[in-house]
Amino acid sequence: MRGGVSHTSPHRSRSLHSRSLQGDSAHAPARLARGDGIGEYAENPAQHFRPGREPGLMLQHPIAGVSEEYFMAAPQKIVLLYKKSSIPDLVLKNAQAQAPKGFTFTPCEAKTPDDERKKQVASADYLIAYGVGFEDFEAAKSVKLFQVLSAGFDRLDLGKFKELGIPVANNGGANAPTVAEHAVLLMLSVFKKLPLHHNTMQEGKWLGHQEALRMRELRDKQVGVVGFGHIGRETARNVRGFLANVAYFDPMGAPAEVEKQLSAKRMELDELIRTSDVITVHTPLNKATRGLFGAKQFAAMKQSAIFINTSRGPVMDEKALIAALDAGEIAGAGLDVFEEEPLAPNSPLLGRENVVVTPHIAGTTIDTWTRRLDFGFGNVVRVSKGERPLAEVKG
């Protein structure tokens, strides 16, 4: 008995655990260095989400194409592991409503006492996580899927999940549209000196055109996209709308038709750094990308270029970035992520008119939460039917 419900569903079979995850670790660095760190996925994640729904609305039956007969089996348990500061109460309420029929859904906050949290994990058939790591492997003996609601998965020990035969999946690009929008927001904010003009207007000052010669536009600039997965490609699509030129670096490359559609030119990283007017980073955090941008890379950038990071803080060497800004080696930066979060109130990155900072919010909107949950719950249903999850991480 689990929560008063007998779990005798045939879908509780552990046959899935006997399969090894596809791909071998020898190829992991190259694969993980791709865009969002997604293994094999559909090129258009939107096809997995149901159209015609307003953001934030609760669903009565979110998983399309699943018969009522399928849900006659005894409920299986979904446990959401989360940090309270990361998921608003409205999202939790919506998640309860979006959970597919035939499954129970239990939120479990990160600060829950260890014994209670492990009890929830031990009773779970599927774990969904956001904003937390995971160490309760001994308790996860019945888990068939570990579904992350974010694009990144750097908090997870993928080797341990593989050892236990538990597939791990990320959000399949569900947050790509909003992260890509935020990247462009940061580009324009730095180029147009938005903080300076906003702050002086708030102080009752009118600078007018005094700063015009220090402002720039995106049109005809080369935007160098580092990491060309879902988010990188969406960013390229956005800047093309401003008539910017797109160059990209990704060890995996991109299909010729994608390059043609986005008018994107593949470059080696050194060339991209040297020639771009904007560098925007969209890689996962792993051994290959940690410290990818340091003193050497910033020194190689154009003095007029700006650096944008909406991926993970440790992809850049923050001290090296600060030194490059102090020395005038680059013109500015737009940052949503930092080596240590929250960013310290006395950080040297603050108080600069050529640096725009936001508190790791690029991927979070009510629209994004709807897509994240749709995708995650859809994967639960797929795995319960004996299928592989979409956006499975290959570690």
Break the chain into its structural domains and give their ranges.
10-174+365-384, 176-357
User: Which fold does the domain 10-174+365-384 belong to in CATH?
Assistant: Rossmann fold (3.40.50)
What is the number of residues in the chain? Answer: 395
CB 384 within 8 A of CB 165: no
Of 7, 230, 360, 382, the catalytic one is 360
312 is catalytic: yes
Going by DSSP bridges, is the β-strand pair 103-109/168-169 parallel, antiparallel, or unpaired?
unpaired
pLDDT at 17: 36
Rounded Cα–Cα distance for residues 192 and 167 (Å): 45
Rounded Cα–Cα distance for residues 198 and 392 (Å): 43
Rounded Cα–Cα distance for residues 342 and 349 (Å): 13
DSSP characters over 55-72: TTPPPSS-STT--TGGGG
pLDDT in tens, the chain (395 residues): 334 333 333 333 333 333 332 333 333 333 333 334 333 333 444 444 433 333 333 333 344 455 555 444 568 999 999 999 899 999 999 999 999 999 999 999 999 999 999 999 999 999 999 999 999 999 999 999 999 999 999 999 999 999 999 999 999 999 999 999 999 999 999 999 999 999 999 999 999 888 888 999 999 999 999 999 999 999 999 999 999 999 999 999 999 999 999 999 999 999 999 999 999 999 999 999 999 999 999 999 999 999 999 999 999 999 999 999 999 999 999 999 999 999 999 999 999 999 999 999 999 999 999 999 999 999 999 999 999 999 999 87
Q: Does domain 176-357 have CATH number 3.40.30.10?
A: no
Tokens representing 386 are 């004996």
**Sign (positive or negative) of CA dihedral 264, 266, 268, 271:** negative
Of 312, 371, 372, 382, the catalytic one is 312
pLDDT at 371: 96
CB 66 within 8 A of CB 50: no
Alpha carbon 328 to its chain's center:
31
pLDDT at 210: 86
Of 138, 217, 341, 387, the catalytic one is 341
Rg of the chain in Å (alpha carbons): 22
pLDDT at 15: 36
Tell me the whole-structure pTM to 2 decimals. 0.80
360 is catalytic: yes
Cis, peptide link before residue 342, omega less than 30° from 0:
yes
Same fold, 10-174+365-384 and 176-357: yes
**Sign (positive or negative) of CA dihedral 83, 84, 86, 88:** positive
Which residues of 157-304 form beta strands (DSSP E)?
168-169, 222-226, 245-249, 264-266, 278-281
DSSP H helical ranges for 131-229: 158-164, 176-191, 194-202
